[in-house]
Amino acid sequence: AFELETSRVHASFGTQNPMKSSMKFLVAGSLAVSCSALKIPNGKIATPISTVGSAVHRQTLHNYMNVQYYGDFTIGGQEIQGIFDTGSFELLVRSTRCSACTHPTPAYDHSLSKSYEKNGTVTKHVFGSGPCISMKGYEEIDVGPLKSHGQSFWEIVEHKIQVLDTANFAAIVGIGPNFAYGNQDKTLLMNFGVKEFSICLQRTPGSDGFMTWGSEVTADYKEKSYARANVVGKHHWVTRMHNVSFGKSPLNDNYANVPCTGGGCAAIIDSGTSLIAAPGLALQQLSTQIEPIMEDCSNMHLLPTLHFIIDGTELTLPPEAYVMRVTGEIVEADSIWDILWFKPKVRKVNMCMPAFMQMDMHSQHGPVWILGMPFFRYYHTTFDREQKAMHFALAGPSCSAHPFKSNASDKALIAFNAGASKGPMDIDVHQIVPPTLSSMI
């Protein structure tokens, strides 16, 4: 693991008001990956894939404002809602020990548990959304039929994570591929005996997502039918990414304006981050490749597809994935807008803008990008701890996994997505969840 080098690049791009030309908004960079349309050899769209084995458990991820997807679990017999987060590796729970905390949903109360064991170690966790002080303990954790006795976890006793004050979840359930840094306590995945799981979010605004604990298809089928990306990080689900570009042929574009050429970048596939995060310089480069976006999203049908290469496989992301429309009340707090790449001069609702956050981090594998929730709306993603790999299938109706074929045509992709929403995703910026990454990758 290497320390991440951080820096910040200041730049501007924005939206264009169709009624007023004073505000121009160049949509810069995107990161998420989308589906390169898939067909099976006989030319027909593949049918949904059934699960294999009796140990598979499919869990609903409830959708809140299209930026928080949380699942139910029990800790010490108490039902808690948590974000199942591939970007972290520990279990943190908002606790009643935090007397100064706002508790919009029920918090964990150790005094009500018969299985709680005290450790008492106090530490500070620093996330992209802010720091928190936590106390270590051990508890019984249940997710559906899965059970872990004596699971190490952290009670949040103090925090400065703004989203927790209004969130519909009270826990961050880390499901990274390995132990936490400097910690030999087994993770929840290890104690559950789960070597493989998958996550997918439905594309229709307001729809739920799903997490499947266990293998859905055979290893042979997965290798033949899905796109594979090897995991290069020890603690995160990170792989290599190259040649990010708007347009059909990133390799033929001007390399000066194509991020992740040469040695490439690191791409973290992160179910706990609401948007897409990328380095400021990369977003600047991509802003030169795309026309202004109308503030009312009226020109979305003219916007290009985003292309990039994940561990040797070219993937794409349509405009519906990298453009968002701000909803909710007008937000005045700078801290909320600061995490967004585009910071409009006039903050108002029903305004379209890029679904990107600026995050300047560097790793041994290059500049770091985060493929957040927009990615999972287009790819049914399987995480394999044993093989240290991720596999991508096209996300079909009800998050069914459809075989991936990287050389399928854009026309086939359009046909496959015909039933999906054609507008931007409505986002309440109050509820955006920033990355929960640790300081090392």
Q: What's the pLDDT score for residue 432?
A: 82
Residue indicated by tokens 């015909």:
418
Question: What is the rounded CA–CA span in Å between residue 66 and residue 206?
Answer: 6
Q: What's the pLDDT score for residue 356?
A: 86
**Residue 164 to residues 1, 2, 68, 125, 431, Cα–Cα distance (Å):** 29, 29, 11, 14, 9
3-class secondary-structure state, position 189: helix
Question: What is the rounded CA–CA span in Å between residue 267 and residue 284?
Answer: 18
Question: What is the rounded CA–CA span in Å between residue 363 and residue 236?
Answer: 12
> For the chain (length 441 residues), average pLDDT per consecutive 10?
36 43 25 29 33 71 94 98 93 94 94 97 84 95 97 94 87 88 85 96 95 95 94 91 79 66 94 91 87 87 91 93 78 50 58 86 93 95 96 94 67 52 78 63 39
pTM here is: 0.83
Which residue, 215, 231, 415, is CA-closest to 311? Answer: 231
Q: What's the pLDDT score for residue 19?
A: 36
Q: Which two tokens stand for residue 8?
A: 């910040």
